[in-house]
Amino acid sequence: MRVSSYVNNSKYWNDRQTVFIGTYQSFRKSGESVSYGASGLGLETSRALASAGASLTLAVRNLAQGQAGADVLRAAYPAAQVSVGLLDLSDLTSVREFAADWMASSASLDILINNAAIMACPLTQSRKGWEAQFATNHLGHFVLTTALLPALHKAAQKTGDARVVCLSSSAHKISGVEFDDIHFERREYNKWKAYGQAKSANALMALGLHLRYAGRGITANAVHPGGIMTGLQKFLPTQEMRALGWLKTDDTPLDIFKTPQQGAPTSIWAATAPRLLGNGGLYLEDCQQSVLVEPGNRVSGYSAHIADAVAAERLWAMSETMVAR
């Protein structure tokens, strides 16, 4: 399925000027800075929305790379309205400054896609002392989303339909949120459990948003785009990816991995599908609602812990307390 095929046929675009904020996390590797506003899943998602006439704000950690991504979109779609804003999800001051600047210049927000992530990094702490994957992948997006809620409410009041898309992963099956030791202060650090915990938190945040705001016209869902080889794997040396069975003998990805063009449609579907209006708190993959699976199934479906309303409420309350400090 081409990314644009669903968007361009959707009635979603007929009666609104849509604003999209996509978050893209950049990283440094071998002296280079790469931003996913300029490549990969983020670019393909943005490309589809730009082709349909959405006004886009790319929230990026590296402005130069973000501008490069915006230039790609403008070249392909000269009429596209694309702006770039500085946002470092690991720094809550940066998150709040971005949200304040955006709110000061824009009235309403129809779509927010929380796309950024880091994966399987060595034990790293944020300035607040939080484990980096949880801090970046969940808390940064939590602060951004809650700060932009007034703009989402305005869009919902006008059209009855504002959307929040939270990128999760099948890795949520590795670990739920360990509420008693989120930051690995009393247990040995495991980079995959930390990533799984963060991806579970992404899905639970979507559920928490649904529980609070579905009645006010905000639809929030979690999306698994599929396994995609992008810069997300930057902390994984080739030898480790071989051991994981991700690579062919020539070190190219196995055919089970998607391209960014194949991974983006589910985010677009979550952001625009009329059938999802008011249907939130779901885990979506391959442009459909996923199904509950038994423990041990790592390929498809979702685990019960990300559909736990009590856990979603607990995470929301805990997140509010953490970021208020």
Angle, helix 191-213 to helix 309-324, in steps of 10 degrees: 100
Strand pairing category for 19-24 and 111-114? parallel
Residue pair 184/123 in contact (Cβ under 8 Å)? The answer is yes
Residue pair 265/47 in contact (Cβ under 8 Å)? The answer is no
Kindly name the residue from 6, 12, 24, 195 that is annotated as catalytic: 195
User: How many beta carbons lie within 10 A of that of residue 85, not counting itself?
Assistant: 18
Rounded CA separation 318/78 (Å): 44
**Residue 302 annotated to the active site:** no
Rounded CA separation 306/136 (Å): 19
Q: What is the DSSP letter of 282?
A: -
User: How many beta carbons lie within 10 A of that of residue 124, not counting itself?
Assistant: 17
Contacts of 310 (CB under 8 A, 6+ apart): none
Q: What's the per-residue H, E or C state across 59-109? A: EECCHHHHHHHHHHHHHHCCCCEEEEEECCCCCHHHHHHHHHHHHHHCCCC
Half-sphere exposure of 302 (CA within 13 A, CB side): 26
Query: Active-site residue numbers?
Result: 195
